[in-house]
Each structure stands twice: as C-alpha cells, then as structure tokens.
Amino acid sequence: MTRTRLATVAYSAVSIVLFAFFVFPVYWMVNTSLQPNNEIRGSDLHFWPDNLTLRNYETVLFDPGRTPFLPAAGNSLTVTVLTVVIALVFAFLASVAVTRFRFASRRAFIITILVVQMIPGEAMIVSVFRVIDGWHLLNTIAGLTLVYVATVLPFTIWTLRGFVNGVPVELEEAAMIDGCSRAGAFWRVTFPLLAPGLVATGVFGFIQAWNEFIMALVLNARPEMMTLPVWLRTFLVANGTTNWAGLMAGSTLMAIPVIVFFLVVQGRMTSGLVSGAVKG
C-alpha cells in the first residue's frame, strides 16, 4: 500500500513538472507582453508582470510603423474565413459523393486525396509561386485563398468523409419510406446531424490557414498584403531583438484565436457525433 501511495505521489510530482514545462513558454509569452520593454531588458527577471502595462499591445495595434498589425490581421481573417467556407462547401460535396455513391473511380479519388495531402508544401513553393505569378495573383487575397483552399481541401474531405459515414444510411432510408426524396432525406436528416462535424472540420481548417507561414511568405510578401505570420516575421526581422515585449504582444494576439479554437474543438472531434441516433 505505502509503495503504491509513494508511486502516486511521485507521478503527481512529475506531472506538475511536466505541466510547468509545457505551459511555461505560453505563460512567458503573455508575461513578457504585459511588461514595459525597458524592464524586461533589465538585469532583474520578472516572473509575473508586477508593473503591468498594456503599452506593448497599444504599440503593436496602433503604432503606424513600417509593419502595421491591423491590416495584416484583416488579411489573415479574410483569407482564413474565405478558405474555410469554400473548402467546407467543396469538401462537403465531395464527401457526399464518396460516401453515398459507388462509382467507378471512387477508390482512386480517395487515394488521390490521401496522396495530395502528403505532398510536401515546401517542395511546391517554387512552382506554386510561378503559377500564381503567371495568373497575376501574387499579393492578392484571391491567390492566397485559392492556394489555401487546395491545401486544406484533402484533409477536409477526408475528415468529413468520416463524419458522413458516421450517419447511418438507415436514417435516410427511413425518411424515404416516409415519403422524402433521396436528396430531401439527405438534406433534412443527415445534414443536421453533420453540423458538429462541419464545425469541427471548419475549425481545424481555420487553424491550418491561420497558422500557414511558408506560402504566405512567398506569395504575399508586400507589406499591405501580408498575413499575421508574415507580419510577425517581418516585425522580428525589422526590430531584431530590441523589442521583445512588442514581439510577445504580437505573438499573443496571433496565438489567442488559435488556442481558443483549439481548446473548443478538441472535445468536439471525439464526442458529439450521432451517438444515440441508432441504437446499438
């Protein structure tokens, strides 16, 4: 007994150390962002923001410097929302095709999706840059959105396919017996059950597009067309290591939507499906 209790205490202690290891960088980012820049460059370390200030956020948000934050945030939001909406619609149609129909090249299509998903974007930057340039879409919302839709699409189709598969065809058939058309049955019965799946998949697409760095760096390098990751990098290069407090404020602003969304959707992915729609 005492031995197992000792083990429990030891494991608990280790888990606290691990908790600290995982949380500390996130804490340190927020902590630094709330302190005056001259203070964090002093010889003392401030483990909590004892001289709390929002000055860094003000500077990042409203200082009309070379690298304004708000336009970049606007670009990020526009591209991300457009990407999610378009990708969800296209992926939804495709996932219905592969789950509710048996057609000749169905398997080939799914394999293609999986292969495309694994093509490394780093290898594609060269040619995507040239193709987008050829269509005169460099430094445009449309160009970046188009690229992001293609980036997010394979994952979205694959995930939605799982969700649509999770809704038993029996439900649709029951509705059809009650007089619905096949499309009507799908729309009235299956689609509402897919709502949590669509939300979860959409949020994952959001996170992917919001965080995307390399394509945005190559395609939208012009200051007024930057997205947040490129903005953060530009801020880093422009200020070097002189304005860590501002840099941390910018990082926090960029990370917060992702962290919130991530925490929200994490549970949704596993639960909230159609549990209970059909018994055992």
Partner 1 sequence: MTTVDTTGPDLAPSAGEGRRPAPPRPTRAGRPRDPRARRARRGGLTPYALLTPALIVLALIVGWPLVQLVVTSFQEFGRAQVFGAPPAWVWFENYADVLTDPVFHGVLVRSLAFAAACVVTTMLFGTLVALMMTRLTKFFRMLLSIGMLLAWAMPALTATVVWGWMFDTAYGVVNHVLVNWFGLAEYFQHSWLIDPLSFFLVAGLIIVWGAVPFVAFTLYAGLTQVPDEVLEAAQLDGAGGVARFRLIVFPYLKPIFLIVTILQIIWDLRVFTQIFALQDIGGIRALTSTLGVYIYQTSIAGGDFGHGGAIAVITAILLMSISIFYIRHLAKEEEL
Residue numbers 47-86 binding partner 1 by CB under 8 A: none
Among 88, 161, 220, 249, binds partner 1 (CB under 8 A): 161
Q: Which CB, 70 or 111, lies closer to partner 1?
A: 111
Among 3, 50, 127, 179, binds partner 1 (CB under 8 A): 127
181 touches 228 (CB < 8 A): no
Does the footprint of partner 1 cover residue 101 (CB under 8 A)?
Answer: yes
Among 128, 175, 189, 249, binds partner 1 (CB under 8 A): 128
Q: Residue 17 CB, nearest distance to partner 1 (Å)?
A: 10
Among 53, 71, 129, 187, binds partner 1 (CB under 8 A): 129
Nearest CA to 132 among 143, 122, 140, 145? 143
Nearest CA to 191 among 100, 87, 85? 100
Q: Residue 165 CB, nearest distance to partner 1 (Å)?
A: 5
Classify 220 as helix, strand or coil.
Answer: coil
Q: How far apart, in Å, are the Cα atoms of 208 and each of 37, 62, 92, 158?
A: 31, 27, 18, 15
Q: How many CB atoms lie within 10 A of CB 247?
A: 22
Among 3, 5, 102, 136, binds partner 1 (CB under 8 A): 102
Nearest CA to 205 among 159, 274, 253, 268? 159
139: left (phi over 0), alpha (psi -120 to 50) or beta: left
Residues numbered 181 to 210 that lie near partner 1 (CB under 8 A) are 204, 207-208, 210
Residue 211 to residue 34: CA distance in whole angstroms: 23
Q: Phi/psi of residue 160, each to 5°?
A: -65, -35
Q: How many residues bind partner 1 (CB under 8 A)?
A: 113
Among 79, 82, 138, 157, binds partner 1 (CB under 8 A): 157
- Name residues whose C-beta falls within 8 Å of residue 78's C-beta, 6 or more positions apart in sequence: 141
Q: Residue 127 CB, nearest distance to partner 1 (Å)?
A: 4
Does the footprint of partner 1 cover residue 141 (CB under 8 A)?
Answer: no
Among 77, 141, 174, 218, binds partner 1 (CB under 8 A): 218
Among 1, 50, 120, 179, binds partner 1 (CB under 8 A): 120
Q: Residue 139 CB, nearest distance to partner 1 (Å)?
A: 14
CA dihedral 80, 217, 257, 249 (to 10 degrees): -150
Q: Residue 266 CB, nearest distance to partner 1 (Å)?
A: 6
Among 26, 52, 54, 195, binds partner 1 (CB under 8 A): 26
163 touches 197 (CB < 8 A): yes
What is the CA angle 67-27-248, rounded to 5? 10
Does the footprint of partner 1 cover residue 137 (CB under 8 A)?
Answer: no
Does the footprint of partner 1 cover residue 118 (CB under 8 A)?
Answer: yes
Does the footprint of partner 1 cover residue 29 (CB under 8 A)?
Answer: yes
